[in-house]
Structure 1
Amino acid sequence: MSESLDGKIAVITGAASGIGLATAERLLKGGATVVMVDRNEAALNELTAKLGPKAVAQVTDLLDTDSCNAMIPEILAKVDHIDILYCNAGTYIGGDLTETTPEAIDRMLNLNINAVMKNVQAVVPHMSARKTGDIVVTCSIAGHFPTYWEPVYSGSKWAITSFVQGMRRQMIPHGVRVMQVSPGPVISALLADWPEENLRKAKESGSLIDADEVADAVEYMLTRKRTVTIRDMLVLPTNFDRV
């Protein structure tokens, strides 16, 4: 039996597009208040005006140390408490290691790993004091097997799998659930650097999923009764045959 999201307060990073936006819309529909976190202030203002008063804008640049560190305190100045933190923001690097740059690697590791760890660290005392809360992180199927065609991205997601599953165990005594969702390829801006031919073939073969499918999985995880934790949910296109 599912539990209601009505009245819950959720925070979603990377909420101005893709999986983050789809999940924000889904949780709002379920009655939650959603703090939409993104660095794109113009997009946030437009979206929150469109989505209504339960959509709250939070402009944060997760790659800026001061901005990232200020995120949770700034949010708690806007809302009474945080029931759900969904760390979704991330970036992608495909191809061989020799095809990327040190600067791109730093940016990916800072966003995909460091920002997630810092966001979780910041919210844990708040949730622990309340003896309840849910933390969800967007991982990837690439965090479950050695994806040789995207080793930098895969490495960042393996780190997240380890972090999430360690924190899941650490937070059990505090009443806080820690979970991850691991999508296969999703139609989003993260695939912008895919070769056009590869993207075309993937779309035509049904080897990509929509962001709504991931949002559906996150909603399912969050609406289980408190005695149940979905520790990880893999969401794959049916025709995805690389695993």
Structure 2
Amino acid sequence: MVYPLKDKVALITGASSGIGLATARALAAQGAQLALTARLDTEYSKLVEEFSGRASIVAADLCEDGMVEKVVDDHLRTFGRIDVLVASAGMFHQGYVPDDDPEIWDRLIGLNVNSVFRTIRRVLPSMVAQQAGDIVALSSVSGHTAIHHEPVYSASKHAIQAFIHGLRRQVGQQNIRVGAVAPGIVLTKLTGYTDEEQIAEKVRLGEGVRAEDVADAITFMLSRPRHVTIRDMVLLPSNQPI
């Protein structure tokens, strides 16, 4: 038995590309109602074109003061509720700490950590009121195993892991399921992969996964029977040496 997602209102952040976009498509295929949020950039117009008439779409930079609250409140006014939150907005960064730029760290922590915490906090009262909800945060294998060439990114994902584990125990009694999906190398624009032939070869060699693979994992997590919570799902390319 699975938990049906048809007509559930799913808020997805970072929805204009990569895992967020793939998840929007996957949940739409399940019949979910989509509340999408993405930064106003070159990908945003494509998102609007694809989902025009099929989703509520709000442009927002979640690092701006008050923007998380505005986004969530706008979607709540549109739908009256949020049943599912997939917090996938984020950025990737590698760097050697002595030479790295702390301004980039501030942006990364603001998006990967603060905006996720604040978005979850804003949707929770409505989920508590309806005594039901699902929250999936995008983590990373580097949230389980610190990777030396991306220490700040790894730290941000360790923060996600700690938050998700603690939050699950706080709200589980309200029938709110909380979990994190932690992929390894995902072959998207975020990680520098745009050439489809290169992506296909990496997939063939087991050196990366597609955004659609992660979206499938998220859909699986959300569609489990209500008595089942998948707290952590680690999704690795078969040949990633971790």
In the superposition, the TM-score normalised over structure 1's length comes to 0.92
Query: Per-residue deviation at 1:203?
Result: 6.2
| Structure 1 CA distance for aligned equivalents of residues 78 and 42 of structure 2 | 19
CA contact (8 A) 2:2 2:225 kept: yes
1:134 paired to 2:123: no
Specify whether residues 201 and 100 from structure 1 end up closer, same or farther in structure 2 by C-alpha distance, changes over 3 A only: farther
Specify whether residues 205 and 116 from structure 1 end up closer, same or farther in structure 2 by C-alpha distance, changes over 3 A only: same
Query: Per-residue deviation at 1:31?
Result: 0.3
Query: Per-residue deviation at 1:95?
Result: 2.9
Query: Per-residue deviation at 1:202?
Result: 5.6
1:76 paired to 2:76: yes
Tell me, what secondary structure is at the counterpart of 1:230? coil
| Structure 2 CA distance for aligned equivalents of residues 42 and 153 of structure 1 | 24
CA contact (8 A) 1:8 1:32 kept: yes
| 1:94-109 map, 5 Å | 94-109=94-109
CA contact (8 A) 2:203 2:210 kept: no
Percent pairwise identity: 38
Q: Which amino acid aligns with 2:79?
A: V
Q: Which amino acid aligns with 1:230?
A: I
* Alignment match, 1:89: 89
CA contact (8 A) 2:16 2:46 kept: no
Q: How big is each residue's C-alpha offset from its partner over 1:82-128, in whole Å with a ceiling of 9 and x where there is no partner?
A: 00011100111113212320100000000000000100111111100
Tell me, what secondary structure is at the counterpart of 1:72? helix
Tell me, what secondary structure is at the counterpart of 1:77? helix
Aligned residues: 237
| Structure 1 CA distance for aligned equivalents of residues 40 and 239 of structure 2 | 34
| 1:153-232 map, 5 Å | 153-192=153-192, 205-232=205-232
| Structure 1 CA distance for aligned equivalents of residues 73 and 66 of structure 2 | 12
Q: Which amino acid aligns with 2:67?
A: S
| Structure 1 CA distance for aligned equivalents of residues 221 and 210 of structure 2 | 18
**Over aligned residue pairs, what C-alpha RMSD do you find?**
1.9
Q: Which amino acid aligns with 1:72?
A: V
CA contact (8 A) 1:92 1:108 kept: yes
Moved more, 170-179 or 92-101: 92-101
Q: How big is each residue's C-alpha offset from its partner over 1:159-215, in whole Å with a ceiling of 9 and x where there is no partner?
A: 11000010011111111101100000101122139xxxxx99966743111000000
Specify whether residues 7 and 154 from structure 1 end up closer, same or farther in structure 2 by C-alpha distance, changes over 3 A only: same
* Alignment match, 2:14: 14
| 1:10-89 map, 5 Å | 10-40=10-40, 43-89=43-89
CA contact (8 A) 1:16 1:40 kept: no
| 1:139-154 map, 5 Å | 139-154=139-154
Specify whether residues 109 and 173 from structure 1 end up closer, same or farther in structure 2 by C-alpha distance, changes over 3 A only: same
Tell me, what secondary structure is at the counterpart of 1:21? helix
| Structure 1 CA distance for aligned equivalents of residues 35 and 104 of structure 2 | 28
| Structure 2 CA distance for aligned equivalents of residues 185 and 149 of structure 1 | 14
Structure 2 unpaired stretches of 5+: 194-198
Q: Which amino acid aligns with 1:133?
A: G
Specify whether residues 136 and 12 from structure 1 end up closer, same or farther in structure 2 by C-alpha distance, changes over 3 A only: same
| Structure 2 CA distance for aligned equivalents of residues 139 and 99 of structure 1 | 26
Q: Which amino acid aligns with 2:163?
A: F
* Alignment match, 2:196: none
CA contact (8 A) 1:19 1:212 kept: yes
| Structure 2 CA distance for aligned equivalents of residues 41 and 74 of structure 1 | 20
